[in-house]
């Protein structure tokens, strides 16, 4: 059986920018969106929803033990303290990575995903190869499809989101980040590290 590799050939930033501009032009030309609408849409997903918000939550958890305890107890309520929540985030559960445990999230039935903290799900999250393989052989899937080599002594736990419960990951705080501000720490957090298929950036 042919296995689909989930890692795609990287595109340059220039190629991605050109493609986005082309799509914007088509939407505006056909009257589907105005320039102001496109700008507002980009602003919403850059600043008001998505991984940036999740990164802020993680950074606060790294620096505030009391907040982290509340986050692990009830992620929905803790996120609401920061004004984060809404559709697709009505019942969220945060799980914490440690040296002994690495968590990874999937939705085996469709693509249930905590939009308020992670934004829109990436295409690979919705793909059948990922949904099947991360459950069947998570260590190999992470290593071969995401280039994430989890030590053999570290337990991997796979959390299956559904329409009622959406999981996401509090990644380990990177070494060398002591003394950094919350804003700086948030810049180290990646979307994939909050799914469990990647790590944070290095400090």
Any catalytic annotation for residue 112?
Answer: yes
User: Parallel, antiparallel, or unpaired for β 155-160 and 166-170?
Assistant: unpaired
Any catalytic annotation for residue 79?
Answer: no
Do 117 and 166 form a contact (C-beta atoms < 8 A)?
no
**Catalytic residue (choose from 79, 112, 141, 161):** 112
Query: 154: which residues sit within 8 A by CB, 6+ positions away?
Result: 99, 100, 101, 102
Any catalytic annotation for residue 111?
Answer: yes
**Catalytic residue (choose from 107, 141, 161, 193):** 107
Do 161 and 107 form a contact (C-beta atoms < 8 A)?
yes
Any catalytic annotation for residue 141?
Answer: no
**Catalytic residue (choose from 25, 34, 110, 163):** 110
Reading the block at residue 123, the tokens are: 């295409």
User: Parallel, antiparallel, or unpaired for β 92-96 and 101-106?
Assistant: unpaired
| Residues taking part in catalysis | 107, 110-112
């Amino acid at each position: 059986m042919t296995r689909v590799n989930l890692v795609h050939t990287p595109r340059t930033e220039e190629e991605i920018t050109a493609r986005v501009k082309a799509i914007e032009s088509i939407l505006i030309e056909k009257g589907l969106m105005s320039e102001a609408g496109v700008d507002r849409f980009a602003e919403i997903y850059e600043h008001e929803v998505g991984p940036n918000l999740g990164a802020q939550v993680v950074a606060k958890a790294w620096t505030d033990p009391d907040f982290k305890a509340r986050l692990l107890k009830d992620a929905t309520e803790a996120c609401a303290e920061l004004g984060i929540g809404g559709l697709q985030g009505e019942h969220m559960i945060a799980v914490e990575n440690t040296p002994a445990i690495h968590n990874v999230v999937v939705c085996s039935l469709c693509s249930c995903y905590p939009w308020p903290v992670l934004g829109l799900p990436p295409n690979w999250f919705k793909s059948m190869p990922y949904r099947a393989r991360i459950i069947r052989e998570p260590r190999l899937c992470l290593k071969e499809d995401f280039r994430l080599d989890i030590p053999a002594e570290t337990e991997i736990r796979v959390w299956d989101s559904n329409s009622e419960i959406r999981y996401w990951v509090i990644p380990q705080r990177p070494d060398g980040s002591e003394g950094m501000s919350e804003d700086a720490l948030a810049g180290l957090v990646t979307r994939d590290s909050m799914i469990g298929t990647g790590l944070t950036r290095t400090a």
